[in-house]
Structure 1
């Protein structure tokens, strides 16, 4: 139940605080007085769409705060969202709307905790249900009618609908997999042929060593310079080990140095480490000389091997140009396309298998949809009976109404096209409600529909925006009684121009516009200060003020006859409430 609504700088409202009560809360006032602005504020604080126009001219920030009573299910849901209660019985929701130079921003809080749109949507469904004549469009939408019918049916249709959604998702995935395979079969075969050729080519190339190209380049250089290497190795051998000329080799010079140092050590033992170094150097030089000599003797020209190396280098460079640019990347590509080729060749993903999977999923979806259709037919029969009984007190005793359920292609919500069909007069054929119902008939139908859904709805507050437009007399009285009946189970907020409805209110508010001096915040009775229009709300909490307001609604002025009529309406409403209580 909505306890309190605080509004700041919202449209024509500068500051406003309203306290609502249980039962039927009615807002009245002249056309354009600002009644709908209050309902717009309720919609906005619960996450409704807003634009920069909702921010009062001359300001850049609007604020709406609503306080609701909590219920155990609501408390449990808030706990799941990790939102604590401020106290045991209330939930405070606020929305701040700020205008900047380029856009509009808003922030919503629940008990001081910032929340996103998804949470606000879930909270809105649990708190308030708004009904207006504008819902005529929704009545004509099969998807909306289907949602209403499932909600009316209770847990069984909703649970089965979830099974249908799961089955539809599985079918859709299977269907998409099949279509993807079908549409890509030609490309798959082309890709398969290409990868097969590439795998064969790379397998023939026998790629295993990423550094093979560098190693072959070195071998080619060696084979191309065999004679030079032989000559240079012999030159090194002579310089280090055995020189054919009179010039001594390095090994000979080191030998002479060793003899001299050996003599010196006899006189000074400190030179022993130097002697050891010379001996080591002589040994190393002699070893290098022997190895370089052996290297030179083993070198020989090998034209055939040189040709093989050249051919292998050409082959690897060709591989790199096609699959590289480096040999390492070519080897990695070879490994990757082997896996891709195996996947393309996977027999388990054949078209035949995918077709079987799709067929099985579709059969499961069809079965689940058929079960949902049966549950909907049961709910439709109950709704037809209940709605007709709700319409009779609204001066629609002879109306005919059916929930038409026609088969359609399965979707995530079933395989039904659902339409409300209606005939207001005996002998006339049933036709879609939105095509033949008058404004007054649509108002009564929506009211009766909400009466049917009131027990299934989780919302504690029902809002009706001029639901009584287009009716008068006995019908208006019937609507007033129906609204009061609904208010015994749910809090009802109603904007109305009907004195018959307003008279039935448990709490009555009058909305009007006033012109004030902006600087003083008082009614503008003179030219001092900037004049601004504001919306003001007065609680009509005594018999005199209510009588005067009802007289205004009935006759447009507080004439004697209008006052008498207003008194009769209040007396009639009081008698009706006493009869219901008894």
Structure 2
């Protein structure tokens, strides 16, 4: 609830302090007295976009302070917490506009942006009038209004969840198809490369072994000749035979020499054994150096094939096997990809079906609620002398999204048989005011905690219709707070609290002021509204009758 409004040096207001009350608050006054300035000032402190020049002529800055009661559970608390601003049961907004155009805002003595003010304002104030494009006249908000009336929060939560799951399924399928397409574009290469690698079947370390074998075979003939010569010199016809003969001669002389030949004989025995091992090793080398003349060619072919394949794929020869396994895995992914795509398509179809199910359930709730809302609004139009008008909530299929697949718009027809159209385009000024009021009465249960302001919503109506408008406004104010700027005496008479906006001249400067009216002054103000500048006894009597 708006508790107080303090305005300093704004347009033609030098200093104004207003203390508003629960219930129906009415502001009256002659045209041009400054009623719109109050709304401009309130809009300024709430961060709304309005007039560019607000500072009173000659002042360095203008300032507006608005105080609100903030009960527990009010949605403004969440905005304050999100902005890091301390809360409580009181909310104080303060905004300064300097003469050079700079604006500064505070919430509960904490600096804040205009965006924070605007977010808070959506939970604090609703402005309704003939030129209100922020509220009921904006078709973009009609679906949310219908949802609030229909209490669809649970169904919308299900739709949002299903939409999120549908988006996830779509992305998974798109990603998998993109990956499969990328692999499919190299399928021929993969199959050819894997075929080559499987046919060659290179082994780790094989390239080094082949290179060593090739080098050995290339020099084998010369090497074998030298080794064979060495073998001959070491064998029985060479060193082995000579040492054997020497050993036998020395052994025959052992008895006559005592211990003198024991050590030399033992050394020759050891030498003969070592020489035998050497001869065996050389013999094996000779056998190894014996090769098929075609073996060198075969070894070179395989060695060159491994090296060529390694260069082709830009990998080391020893990791060709690992590279082949990597390519086989990519081929396996390609071969399994179609099955995976089929599975993901099934999941997408299920997600689409799940979304359509909950979205259709939400649409059904909206269509049912639309009928109830239409009936409720029509019942309100009759007392407002618009019994021949038609109000319709259209629920049409729209592009699917997280809030469902419905486009909602309020349309009206002012006379039977006339084409229906948007609220703001079909209804005249007075008719529009009554349509808005009837609709607001039907939707008010969802707006507890918001101060509603009606700016000359009764324009163009009078008599019994104006009385009906006033009674609807009073009903809206029960248990809440409504501010009405009005020229209608019937509406003014129904207010619980009454202020008159008037001008005064001080030192040739025109200033606007707002005066709370005591009962007798209120009679005079309603009488003025009935008769004009000259208040007659009849007008005063009529005013007393209206005020009850």
- Return the TM-score normalized by structure 2: 0.67
Q: Deviations over 1:268-308 (max 9, x none)?
A: xxxxxxxxxxxxxxxxxxxxxxxxxxxxxxxxxxxx99xx9
Counterpart in 1 of 2:125? 128
Counterpart in 1 of 2:451? 461
**Secondary structure of residue in 2 paired with 1:467:** coil
How far did residue 475 of structure 1 move? 1.5
Query: Whole-Å Cα distance in 2 between the matches of residues 192 and 15 of structure 1?
Result: 82
How far did residue 397 of structure 1 move? 3.1
**Secondary structure of residue in 1 paired with 2:471:** helix
Does structure 1 retain, via aligned residues, the 8 Å contact 2:530–2:543? no
Q: Indicate how the Cα distance of structure 1 residues 428 and 350 shifts in structure 2: closer, same or farther if over 3 A, else same.
A: same
Q: Which piece of structure 1 moves more, 345-354 or 5-14?
A: 345-354
**Secondary structure of residue in 2 paired with 1:459:** coil
Query: Whole-Å Cα distance in 2 between the matches of residues 15 and 114 of structure 1?
Result: 24
1:574 is the counterpart of 2:547: yes
Counterpart in 1 of 2:512? 536
How far did residue 388 of structure 1 move? 2.3
Equivalent of 1:489 in 464, 479, 482 = 479
Larger Rg computed on CA atoms: 2
**Secondary structure of residue in 2 paired with 1:396:** coil
Does structure 1 retain, via aligned residues, the 8 Å contact 2:191–2:331? yes
Does structure 1 retain, via aligned residues, the 8 Å contact 2:488–2:529? yes
Q: Indicate how the Cα distance of structure 1 residues 161 and 318 shifts in structure 2: closer, same or farther if over 3 A, else same.
A: same
Query: Whole-Å Cα distance in 2 between the matches of residues 479 and 48 of structure 1?
Result: 27
Q: Which piece of structure 1 moves more, 133-142 or 30-39?
A: 133-142
1:402 is the counterpart of 2:398: no
Does structure 1 retain, via aligned residues, the 8 Å contact 2:393–2:409? yes
Q: Indicate how the Cα distance of structure 1 residues 204 and 11 shifts in structure 2: closer, same or farther if over 3 A, else same.
A: farther
Does structure 1 retain, via aligned residues, the 8 Å contact 2:126–2:451? yes
Equivalent of 2:158 in 159, 163, 184 = 163
Counterpart in 2 of 1:299? none
How far did residue 489 of structure 1 move? 2.5
Does structure 1 retain, via aligned residues, the 8 Å contact 2:25–2:483? yes
1:559 is the counterpart of 2:519: no
Query: Whole-Å Cα distance in 2 between the matches of residues 508 and 334 of structure 1?
Result: 90
Query: Whole-Å Cα distance in 2 between the matches of residues 60 and 317 of structure 1?
Result: 81
What does 1:70-89 align with in structure 2 at a 5 Å threshold?
Answer: 70-74=70-74, 77=77, 81=81, 89=89
Counterpart in 2 of 1:92? 92
Equivalent of 1:150 in 139, 147, 171 = 147
How far did residue 111 of structure 1 move? 6.0
Q: Deviations over 1:363-416 (max 9, x none)?
A: 111111121122223322332332222222212234443333333443222223
Query: Whole-Å Cα distance in 1 between the matches of residues 498 and 18 of structure 2?
Result: 11
Query: Whole-Å Cα distance in 2 between the matches of residues 120 and 73 of structure 1?
Result: 19
What does 1:17-32 align with in structure 2 at a 5 Å threshold?
Answer: 17-32=17-32
Q: Indicate how the Cα distance of structure 1 residues 99 and 536 shifts in structure 2: closer, same or farther if over 3 A, else same.
A: closer
1:546 is the counterpart of 2:522: yes
1:524 is the counterpart of 2:500: no
**Secondary structure of residue in 1 paired with 2:417:** coil
Q: Which piece of structure 1 moves more, 54-63 or 373-382?
A: 54-63
Counterpart in 1 of 2:417? 428
Q: Deviations over 1:514-567 (max 9, x none)?
A: 56xxxxxxx133xxxxx6x6x5222232345434444554444x3143x642x2
Q: Deviations over 1:483-514 (max 9, x none)?
A: 12222232111112223222332222233455
How far did residue 162 of structure 1 move? 1.8
Query: Whole-Å Cα distance in 2 between the matches of residues 203 and 65 of structure 1?
Result: 83
Q: Indicate how the Cα distance of structure 1 residues 99 and 137 shifts in structure 2: closer, same or farther if over 3 A, else same.
A: closer
Q: Indicate how the Cα distance of structure 1 residues 564 and 180 shifts in structure 2: closer, same or farther if over 3 A, else same.
A: farther
Equivalent of 2:401 in 411, 416, 425 = 411
How far did residue 467 of structure 1 move? 0.9
Does structure 2 retain, via aligned residues, the 8 Å contact 1:52–1:99? no
Query: Whole-Å Cα distance in 1 between the matches of residues 69 and 47 of structure 2?
Result: 18
Give the gaps of 5 or more residues in structure 2. Answer: 205-296, 317-322
Does structure 2 retain, via aligned residues, the 8 Å contact 1:500–1:569? no
**Secondary structure of residue in 2 paired with 1:394:** coil
Equivalent of 1:190 in 185, 191, 195 = 185
Q: Which piece of structure 1 moves more, 112-121 or 63-72?
A: 112-121
Q: Deviations over 1:87-145 (max 9, x none)?
A: 7x4322333456878xx554441464757846852x43432222122247965665422
Does structure 2 retain, via aligned residues, the 8 Å contact 1:421–1:430? no
Query: Whole-Å Cα distance in 1 between the matches of residues 54 and 45 of structure 2?
Result: 12
- Return the TM-score normalized by structure 1: 0.64
Query: Whole-Å Cα distance in 1 between the matches of residues 157 and 55 of structure 2?
Result: 41
Equivalent of 1:476 in 440, 443, 466 = 466
Q: Deviations over 1:24-79 (max 9, x none)?
A: 21222343443223223333333434675345566675433211122232299459
Query: Whole-Å Cα distance in 1 between the matches of residues 14 and 133 of structure 2?
Result: 33
Does structure 1 retain, via aligned residues, the 8 Å contact 2:47–2:114? no
Counterpart in 2 of 1:7? 7
Query: Whole-Å Cα distance in 2 between the matches of residues 512 and 313 of structure 1?
Result: 101
Give the gaps of 5 or more residues in structure 1. Answer: 210-303, 327-332, 516-522, 526-530, 576-582
